[in-house]
């Protein structure tokens, strides 16, 4: 959920000052951004740590 909110803020930037605020529900309904290879490797490493 935090990733989606951050993505929404990055997309709008300073232009969002004059735009009507979106509801949390509408932000959460967005698709997650694509995961790059570096992030995917970090997620796999974290999963392995917590499996122990």
The answer to whether 5 touches 33, Cβ cutoff 8 Å, is no
> Domain containing 14: what range?
2-51
Angstrom distance (rounded) from CA 50 to CA 26: 32
Angstrom distance (rounded) from CA 37 to CA 25: 29
For residue 23, the model assigns a pLDDT of: 82
Q: What is the pTM of this model?
A: 0.39
Predicted confidence (pLDDT) per residue in 1-52, tens digit: 778 777 877 777 766 666 677 788 887 888 887 889 999 999 999 999 988 7
Angstrom distance (rounded) from CA 18 to CA 14: 9
Number of domains in the chain: 1
For residue 14, the model assigns a pLDDT of: 64
């Amino acid at each position: 959920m935090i990733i989606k909110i951050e993505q929404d803020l990055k997309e709008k930037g300073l232009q969002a000052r004059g735009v009507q605020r979106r509801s949390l529900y509408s932000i959460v309904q967005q698709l997650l951004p694509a995961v790059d290879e570096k992030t995917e490797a970090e997620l796999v490493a974290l999963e392995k740590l917590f499996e122990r």
